[in-house]
Structure 1
Amino acid sequence: MTKKEQFTIIYQQHHAKVFRMCRGYFKGEEHAANDTAQEVFIKIWQHLDTFRNESLLSTWIYRITVNCCLLHTRKPSVKKEVFTEHVPDSIQQEYNPVAEEQLKKMYACIGQLEAADRIIITMVLEGIEYPEIADITGVSGDTLRVRIHRIKKKLSNCVQP
């Protein structure tokens, strides 16, 4: 299999999750999430030959995603106007103002968390298994479970004061 074919498969299998992780990290800000997701796949392309199979491919990809999210926040920000009205991604997606408001509130609450906690909860919401999250973040399984419990409690208090 060529590098291009391998990359295409990786992109098809992981793009949606990478984008959602970035969107969660950047508090629902689509532009920053798109930019960062593109950076992630550029890095994957550049370093695909160096992947050593010491961990799952998905773990390697999510580690790159975490690093890109953290690096993106360190870059000098450029002030820009943000179009805040939601536009559905496809014709199939129904606009639900109640769900949209809940989603905005959840992103606002996630945005109040520390950077590491935002990454962790975004991976939890993506359904990534705890052992893989522990590997990506470099914390023990027990520590991770405690952190996730505390993060969920903070979010619960924020969403339903």
Structure 2
Amino acid sequence: MNNEVYFNRIFEENYPRVMGLCFGYVSGNEDLAKDLAQEVFLKVWQNLNNFKGESKIATWIYRITVNTCLQELRRKNHVSLKIDMAAEVTANQNEKESRFAEMYRCINKLSPENKSIILLELEEVPQQEIANIIGISHRAVRTRIHRIKEQLSKCVYNEQL
């Protein structure tokens, strides 16, 4: 199979998850998320011949996505991103949309590594794969996810009081 056909298949299979992950990192800024996703797939195309197959192609792409998003946040000095998503919620939006925005506002308060873990979990990436992407043990991922969910619950609950 030639590289172009292979790349197109990879792109079609992975774009929705890459876009979702980028979207989470940039607090719902769709234009920036699209730019980051495009940058991810440019890197995938440029480095496709260097992929050694030591992990799943999706794991490799997620690692590129996480690194690309973190680089963007650092480049724009947004590591401690404090976008007030609640202010963007209009009076006409329903309760579900409001909670969704609140959850992402709380996610943005997490450390970069914990943010990566929970965004991958929300994308339904298997926890063993998250461990491989982040570079920690599967057990540590399970523990972190539990603690992160507790943090997010407290954040959302406290903000809604």
Instruction: Give distance in 2, aligned partners of 1:148 and 1:113.
Output: 12
Instruction: Give distance in 1, aligned partners of 2:109 and 2:32.
Output: 17
In the superposition, the TM-score normalised over structure 1's length comes to 0.85
The equivalent of 2:150 in structure 1 is 153
Q: State whether residues 121 and 151 of structure 1, in contact with CA within 8 Å, keep that contact through their aligned partners in structure 2.
A: yes
Instruction: Give distance in 1, aligned partners of 2:111 and 2:64.
Output: 19
Kindly report the root-mean-square deviation, in angstroms, between the aligned alpha carbons of the 2 structures.
1.8
Post-superposition shift, 1:23?
A: 1.1
In the superposition, the TM-score normalised over structure 2's length comes to 0.85
> Unmatched 5+ residue regions in structure 1?
78-83, 87-94
Give the direction of change, closer, same or farther, for the CA distance of 1:45–1:85 in structure 2 (3 Å limit). farther
Deviating 4+ runs (over 4 angstroms): none
Post-superposition shift, 1:4?
A: 1.0
| Matched AA of 2:101 | K
Q: State whether residues 25 and 115 of structure 1, in contact with CA within 8 Å, keep that contact through their aligned partners in structure 2.
A: no
Q: State whether residues 89 and 101 of structure 2, in contact with CA within 8 Å, keep that contact through their aligned partners in structure 1.
A: no
**1:7 and 2:16 matched:** no
Give the direction of change, closer, same or farther, for the CA distance of 1:76–1:124 in structure 2 (3 Å limit). closer
> Unmatched 5+ residue regions in structure 2?
78-87
> What whole-Å deviation, never above 9, does each CA across 1:4-45 have from its counterpart, x for those lacking one?
111111111110100101111222222221111111000000
The equivalent of 1:113 in structure 2 is 110
Aligned residues: 147
Instruction: Give distance in 2, aligned partners of 1:119 and 1:26.
Output: 12
Q: Secondary structure at the match of 1:27?
A: coil
Instruction: Give distance in 2, aligned partners of 1:28 and 1:138.
Output: 26
| Structure with bigger RCO (C-alpha 8 Å, 6+ apart) | 1
Q: State whether residues 18 and 37 of structure 2, in contact with CA within 8 Å, keep that contact through their aligned partners in structure 1.
A: yes
Instruction: Give distance in 1, aligned partners of 2:111 and 2:148.
Output: 10
Identity of aligned pairs, percent?
42
Instruction: Give distance in 2, aligned partners of 1:155 and 1:60.
Output: 28
